[in-house]
Amino acid sequence: MSRFAYFFRETLISLRRNLLMTLAGIMTVAISLFLFGGIVLLNRMVDHGTAKWKNGVQLEVFMRNTATQGQIDDMRQTLANTPTVKSFRFLDHNAAYTEFKRIFRDNPALVRNIAPGDLPTSYRVAPRRAQDTENLAVQFHARSGVDTVITAEREVRNMLTATRVIRYVFFTMAGVLLASSLFLIVNTIRLATFARRREIEVMKLVGASNWFVRVPFMAEGLVQGAIGAGISFGLVIVLKNVLTSLQTHKSVQGLFNGFYVTNGDALTIGFMVLLIGAGIGVLGSTIGLRRFLDT
């Protein structure tokens, strides 16, 4: 108990003594981890928004809710007989409802007000060649019982390309910033050990264990990393709420194309960020301690 009190006191004293360096370390950790967390969050959003366009699916044919079973079967026949269609899959009311619930799991009121029968059935179609998409869309739209056909528009494609570029740029920036926050922590710990070199000398002389000497400095690095990560955790949650509030203004049809993020996504990313922050703190102090405490 008294040992814990000792570590706590020493860590606090040391953090206060290097206040400016400590703040610089915390802020760099926070900014770099927020960049990192933010880009992962946006990534998740793009993943969700483009999930249905995986495996070569380029268009989705929505049937009218009033469509007869005969019209639905006709459509299936047409798809099966069209040579430029590689594959297709039918989503009935229940499948649509399952997907709907997944997308809006953070919005139970909306889910309560929608029954499976309210949602249109659809075919998801993968053409053999992407350039056939537009022709197929026109062709299928003319069939009876078809409400609308949406395609993986050029915008989505462009967006995927754009996000890939942005992703690399941001990841690189986050990486550089993380590295510099690591160096800042290393430097802070070096200053701290230098400021207390007399005490360290005496401690080693009278036989304090290596861990006893080390723990206050490790804790100092850990605190810096963790506080920085805590700030970026908060920022990631804020970003999630901003993105969600943008989403709810869209129309219901737009919701289906929805680029959304869930609380679960934000929390997972938040904890990832916390772990990285704490890891950087400990790594930084370990490196910072190496020079002084080698026996």
**3 binding another protein? (CB under 8 A):** yes
Strand order in the sheet with 59-63: 85-91, 122-127, 59-63, 146-151
**290 binding another protein? (CB under 8 A):** no
Q: In the complex with another protein, which residue's Cβ is closer, 115 or 205? A: 205
Taking CA atoms, 143 is separated from 61, 63, 138, 147, 280, in Å, by: 10, 10, 9, 9, 59
Residue 66 tokens, joined? 């009033």
The angle subtended at Cα 143 by Cα 137 and Cα 148, nearest 5°, is 50
Using DSSP, state whether 243 is helix, strand or coil.
Answer: helix
Q: Shortest Cβ distance from residue 284 to another protein (Å)? A: 22
**205 binding another protein? (CB under 8 A):** yes
Judged by CB under 8 A, the residue of 27, 114, 156, 208 near another protein is 208
DSSP track, 182-206: HHHHHHHHHHHHHHTHHHHHHHHHT
Site string for another protein, 48-87 (x = CB under 8 A): ----------------------------------------
Give the sign of the dihedral formed by CA 14, CA 190, CA 171, CA 28. Answer: positive
Q: Shortest Cβ distance from residue 18 to another protein (Å)? A: 16
Query: Rule CB under 8 A: which of 212-231 touch another protein?
Result: 212-213
Using DSSP, state whether 133 is helix, strand or coil.
Answer: helix
Site string for another protein, 153-192 (x = CB under 8 A): ----------------------------------------
Q: Which helix (H) or strand (E) holds 179?
A: helix 154-195
Considering only 53-61, 79-87, 202-210, 279-287, which stretch makes contact with another protein by CB under 8 A?
202-210
**144 binding another protein? (CB under 8 A):** no
Residues of the shown chain interacting with another protein in the complex, contacts defined by CB under 8 A: 2-3, 6, 198-199, 201-210, 212-213, 295
